């Protein structure tokens, strides 16, 4: 479910209904399968009730989510979801909510407790000690010092700050390099501005991976936020502008200078929004423009594409990619956008471009700055997403440790909270579903020909069941070594 303020993203909202039905349906199906597999529910007509605590709990969990006063044939969504919706208002700090965020939150609370336990050199493995140290350093607020450090060094000097963070922070037009800034941003911070460069399977030859170039995101969620004249879109732009100005001032900029510079920055971003290829024109045919880098350079000669790609790829990690050459193929998703982009950048002041690029770097790091930045962000976010309170620091830090050290955190959780018998039960259940599917293919399916059936069976057997966790996370040697690598 999403907040009211976001109705404009109709495509997202439209997904909710099937999603809820899917989750509801899956829960019901899952529970039935579970009860059948346990011999607790018999599909024959003879009446037998399971009154074990697990069954009562499972039944209550389902009953609390549905609304039995609604006829499912009349409105299945309300029948399946009314109870859940009324018991689960969207939390103040979230733009949307559902079963998975609920589950996630419960796991996060458990992990918080584990990560906050003091380090025991005797009991904790090396990897667990590292996770606890990382967590406590994440909880230690350092205001904006690490960010200011970055802003004092090329290529991230921010023109709007002038000499206010010290003489080494002064931006110089002569030293500014668009390519260098874009490549460092993408390569070292995984952030894409103007250009999104990534690798994924070739659409027309899925066994091969290929470089792809696409348009990148903007500060606001969608292109229309910059172009529409609705009151809502205008309020988003106004909020963004004020947020940019205030953030620059919090970092040391002179306020009249910040107002002046950020006006140009917003104007540039609007120009970029204008040339972005809208969703409806992004068809798979239109986006598949395979060419080699030398053809791309001939089409858009203002940018050193090969130099950019080479700078982004970390050849220390991938030495075999060192000799990527003009004959390398790339898929250019949006040729017209790139042509327009470099036309706009060519006639734009370098200072505005630099102001914009560094703004995007600063913007991406705001969640990691101290409270005074986050409270300012909250004001912005209240307009844009409707969130009214900040995620607590522990919650952010737990999420950060989870994404940085997934296996270590996984092991910590499994050690304390995971019931091994549940994993076995689920594995058994999945085998049951697999068996039933194949049985159905063999005995009840009349419309598939024999060859297709054979393939379908092969595929059903090849489906990999991932239940609970991979066994290797319980191997301490493996996890310790994995961290060092």
Binding site for ligand NAG (CB under 6 A): 67, 69-70, 82-83, 86, 140, 142, 189, 227-229, 254, 256-257, 277-278, 281, 292, 294-295, 326-327, 364-365, 367-368, 396, 400, 403, 475, 477-478, 481
Q: Which is nearer to ligand NAG, 301 or 326 (CB)?
A: 326
Q: Which is nearer to ligand NAG, 278 or 307 (CB)?
A: 278
- Work out how close the CB of 459 gets to ligand NAG at its nearest, in angstroms, rounded to a whole number: 30
DSSP-based three-state secondary structure for 201: strand
- Work out how close the CB of 436 gets to ligand NAG at its nearest, in angstroms, rounded to a whole number: 33
- Work out how close the CB of 87 gets to ligand NAG at its nearest, in angstroms, rounded to a whole number: 8
Residue 9 CA to residue 412 CA, distance in Å, equals 39
Longest dimension (CA), the chain: 85
- Work out how close the CB of 14 gets to ligand NAG at its nearest, in angstroms, rounded to a whole number: 21
- Work out how close the CB of 126 gets to ligand NAG at its nearest, in angstroms, rounded to a whole number: 13
DSSP 120: -
Cis peptide before 404 (omega within 30 of 0): no
Q: How many CB atoms lie within 10 A of CB 412?
A: 24
- Work out how close the CB of 33 gets to ligand NAG at its nearest, in angstroms, rounded to a whole number: 27
Q: Which is nearer to ligand NAG, 37 or 67 (CB)?
A: 67
Radius of gyration of the chain (CA): 27
Q: Which is nearer to ligand NAG, 146 or 201 (CB)?
A: 146
Instruction: Select the residue whose beta carbon is closest to ligand NAG and give its number.
Output: 327
Q: Which is nearer to ligand NAG, 47 or 69 (CB)?
A: 69
Q: Which is nearer to ligand NAG, 86 or 172 (CB)?
A: 86
Distance set, CA 172 to CA 150, 152, 248, 253, 400 (Å): 16, 12, 18, 16, 35
Q: Which is nearer to ligand NAG, 256 or 452 (CB)?
A: 256
Do residues 362 and 219 touch, judged by C-beta distance below 8 A?
no
Q: What is the DSSP string of 27-77?
A: HHHHHHHHHHHTT-S-SSSS-----SHHHHHHHHHHHHHS-TTS-TTT-HH
Residue 483 CA to residue 127 CA, distance in Å, equals 7
- Work out how close the CB of 454 gets to ligand NAG at its nearest, in angstroms, rounded to a whole number: 36
């Amino acid at each position: 479910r999403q907040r009211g303020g976001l109705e404009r993203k109709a495509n997202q909202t439209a997904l909710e209904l099937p999603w809820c039905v899917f989750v509801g349906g899956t829960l019901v199906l899952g529970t039935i399968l579970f009860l059948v597999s346990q011999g607790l529910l018999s599909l024959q007509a003879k009446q037998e009730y399971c009154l074990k605590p697990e069954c009562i709990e499972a039944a209550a969990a389902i009953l609390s989510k549905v609304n039995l006063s609604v006829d499912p044939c009349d409105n299945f969504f309300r029948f399946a979801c009314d109870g859940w919706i009324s018991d689960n208002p969207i939390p103040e700090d979230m733009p949307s909510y559902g079963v998975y965020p609920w589950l996630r939150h419960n796991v996060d609370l458990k992990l918080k407790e584990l990560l906050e336990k003091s380090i025991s050199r005797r009991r904790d493995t090396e990897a667990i000690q590292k996770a606890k140290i990382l967590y406590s350093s994440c909880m230690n607020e350092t205001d904006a010092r690490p960010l200011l450090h970055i802003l004092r060094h090329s290529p991230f000097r921010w023109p709007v700050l002038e000499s206010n963070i010290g003489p080494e922070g002064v931006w110089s037009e002569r030293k500014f390099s668009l390519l260098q800034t874009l490549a460092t941003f993408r390569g070292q911070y995984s952030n894409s501005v103007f250009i999104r460069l990534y690798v994924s399977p070739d659409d027309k030859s899925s066994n091969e991976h290929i470089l792809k170039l696409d348009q990148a995101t903007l500060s606001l969620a969608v292109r229309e936020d910059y172009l529409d004249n609705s009151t809502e879109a205008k309020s988003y732009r106004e909020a963004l502008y004020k947020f940019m100005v205030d953030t620059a001032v919090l970092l040391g900029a002179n306020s009249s200078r910040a107002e002046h510079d950020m006006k140009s920055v917003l104007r540039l971003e609007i120009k970029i929004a204008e040339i972005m290829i809208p969703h409806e024109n992004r068809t798979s045919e239109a986006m598949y423009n395979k060419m080699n880098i030398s053809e791309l350079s001939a089409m858009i000669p203002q940018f050193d594409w090969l130099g950019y790609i080479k700078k982004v790829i970390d050849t220390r990690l991938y030495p075999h990619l060192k000799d990527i050459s003009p004959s390398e193929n790339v898929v250019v998703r949006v040729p017209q956008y790139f042509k327009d982009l470099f036309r706009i950048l060519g006639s734009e002041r370098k200072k505005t471009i630099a102001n914009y690029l560094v703004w995007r770097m600063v913007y991406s790091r705001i969640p990691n700055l101290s409270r005074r930045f986050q409270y300012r962000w909250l004001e912005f976010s209240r307009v844009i997403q409707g969130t009214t309170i900040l995620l607590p620091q522990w919650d952010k830090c737990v999420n950060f440790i989870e994404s940085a050290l997934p296996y270590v955190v996984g092991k910590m959780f499994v050690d304390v909270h995971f019931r091994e018998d549940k994993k076995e039960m689920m594995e058994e259940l999945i085998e049951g579903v697999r068996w039933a599917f194949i049985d159905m293919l063999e005995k009840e399916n009349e419309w598939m020909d024999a060859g297709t059936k054979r393939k379908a069976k092969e595929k059903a057997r090849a489906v990999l069941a991932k239940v609970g966790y991979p066994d290797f996370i319980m191997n301490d040697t493996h996890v310790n070594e994995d961290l060092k690598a």
